[in-house]
Chains A and B, each alone.
Chain A
Amino acid sequence: MNAQSDGCLLQVTDLRKTYGDKVVLADVDLSVRAHDVICLIGSSGSGKSTLLRCVNLLEDIDDGVIVFEGSEISDPRVDRRAVRSRMGMVFQSYNLFPHLTVLDNCTLATRRVHGVPKNEAEQRAHDLLSRFGLADQAEKHPDRMSGGQQQRAALVRALCTRPTLLLLDEITAALDPELVGEVLTIVRELAEQGTTMILATHEMAFARDIATTVCFLDEGRILEQGPPAEIFRNPREDRTRRFLARVLG
């Protein structure tokens, strides 16, 4: 309720996640408003991916509260599929379905989960595919395409259902530098159009450009968060400064 009056799309409070004795996330607080672009940065194993997976309910959390669109989704009684049908998620390794064409990949959820008629679903997919420069790839199978094309197709798949929140989990990490650009261009475009996103990324320059808020994660905690200008130019924490010095070279 509080979250709604704040205009927050997603509100994470005191989130905690452990695997056995290993604490992967602790005391994580994060608010996402509509049209925010949140960049999660930090070294590998700092908990960026786990945070995204918790938000998408792929992982059961050990404590804390996650509120999405005004209702608590960390409640065990929540309908996970209903929640996920409002979020889109894209993975580092694309995870396209290899037995389906790109078009079928993109229309699967729209048709089977959202009940959109075939024509309309395909129209929607075609529109997005051509916007992302994949108009001629619709009938191909994912294995026939380059990594960059596959990742763009995965983005289209996530966008076809018109999610209110997009979760991007290091989506350029598996791509070679030449292909990173073509994917980031699209993400930038989405950000400019006001798509609400949380993205875990290693692309610092990109984060500085498009983020409304940057969160630096270290050992499962959000050590520091704020507008990119602040975090990148004048980090408060010593740990952040060292991390940035290392990755920015």
Chain B
Amino acid sequence: MTTSAGTWEPSPRERERRALRRERSRRDVLVATVAAVVLLGGLLAALLLSPGWPTVRSSFLSWPDAKAAFPSVIKGFLKYNVVGFLIAEPVILLIGASVAVVRSSTSAAMFSVRVLAVVYTDVFRGLPTFLVVIVFGLAIPGLRLQGVTTNTFWLGLAALCLCYGAYVAEVFRAGIESIHPSQVASADTLGLTRWQAMWYVVLPQATRRVTPPLLNDFISLQKDTALLSAIFVFDGLFAAQDYAAYHFNYTPITVVGVLYLLLTIPLTRFTDVMLRRALRRQFAGAR
């Protein structure tokens, strides 16, 4: 392997082969392009030629309405949807990971906490998120408890955290259980405590393995911040509906949709890149 690559010249057969591969990849690109144009063109034609297209266009894609509604929509979107998501995400990760770790613990002292964790995941995974948000946003202020906020944004956010925490806990648990017992055994032989084994050995591997479903849940969470509009938080969707109610035009809804896509798609791409890098490191040269 110390031979230098410098002196070597490809043989005629290899040149031929490379030309063949190049030609092939050119053909693949061509096929892909043609297929994409045909498919997108067809969809576009179906849309533009549909009988109701002019009406739909004026009520969902009107530029003046988009411009007029944009300031209040973006304000609500940034202030509540984005901020809410950014606060909820770390909280949910923490809840999910802790509950999962508790559920996979085996010590007797943790028994009651384990039962609590099971009940929590069962209940909050079983209830519609919408319902939990409504109950938190409307019933809790109704109790007039001392020291509990009546701000529906925070209450709604707490509801989202609890619901998503339950989902994420199950995702983490699946990840933890997928790590081979031999990993725990080798951590044991090194003298690590059960918690150390979990923290340094199992959880890092489990997290990597469950990153795609975690991301799935987080994208879902980003979208579900719109549920806050049900308890009168003036978020992006609420602002858009507000505008629609006054001006009989739904374009702001489209604007919110675009904003959501601008938020979720880059995150997906980013995670894909991270994951690929991690995989390359872990499975280097062992295809």
Contacts and interface: CB of A to CB of B under 8 A. Distances in A.
Interface of A: 14, 16, 18, 21-24, 26, 45, 47, 58, 62-65, 74-77, 219-221
B248 interface: no
B3 A220 contact: yes
Contact of B14 (A23, A24, A64): A64
27 contacts: A14-B11, A16-B8, A18-B5, A21-B5, A22-B1, A23-B1, A23-B3, A23-B5, A23-B8, A24-B1, A26-B3, A26-B8, A45-B1, A47-B1, A58-B287, A62-B10, A63-B8, A63-B11, A64-B11, A64-B14, A65-B13, A75-B17, A76-B17, A76-B21, A219-B1, A219-B2, A220-B3
Contact of A76 (B1, B4, B20, B287): B20
A64 B11 CA distance: 7
Nearest to A47: B1
B24 interface: yes
Nearest to B18: A76
Interface of B: 1-5, 8, 10-11, 13-14, 17, 20-21, 24, 287
Contacts of B21: 76
Contacts, number: 41
B206 to A, nearest CB: 18
Given A23-B5, A47-B1, A75-B20, 16 more contacts: A16-B8, A21-B5, A23-B1, A23-B3, A58-B287, A63-B8, A63-B14, A64-B11, A75-B17, A76-B20, A76-B21, A76-B24, A77-B20, A219-B3, A220-B1, A221-B3
Contacts of A64: 11, 13-14
Contacts of B3: 23, 26, 219-221
Contacts of A23: 1, 3-5, 8
B285 to A, nearest CB: 8
Nearest to A72: B13
Contacts of B8: 16, 23, 26, 63
A45 B287 CA distance: 17
A24 B8 CA distance: 13
The interface centre, meaning the residue of A21, A23, A63 with most chain B CB atoms within 10 A of its CB, is: A63
A79 to B, nearest CB: 14
A144 to B, nearest CB: 14
Closest 3 pairs (CB-CB, A-B): A63-B14, A23-B3, A76-B20
Nearest to B14: A63
The interface centre, meaning the residue of B1, B11, B17 with most chain A CB atoms within 10 A of its CB, is: B1
Contacts of A58: 287
A74 B18 CA distance: 11
Contacts of A75: 17, 20
Contacts of B2: 219
Nearest to B6: A21
Nearest to A75: B17
A67 to B, nearest CB: 11
Contacts of A65: 13
A166 to B, nearest CB: 21
Given A76-B17, A76-B21, A63 B1 contact: no
B7 to A, nearest CB: 10
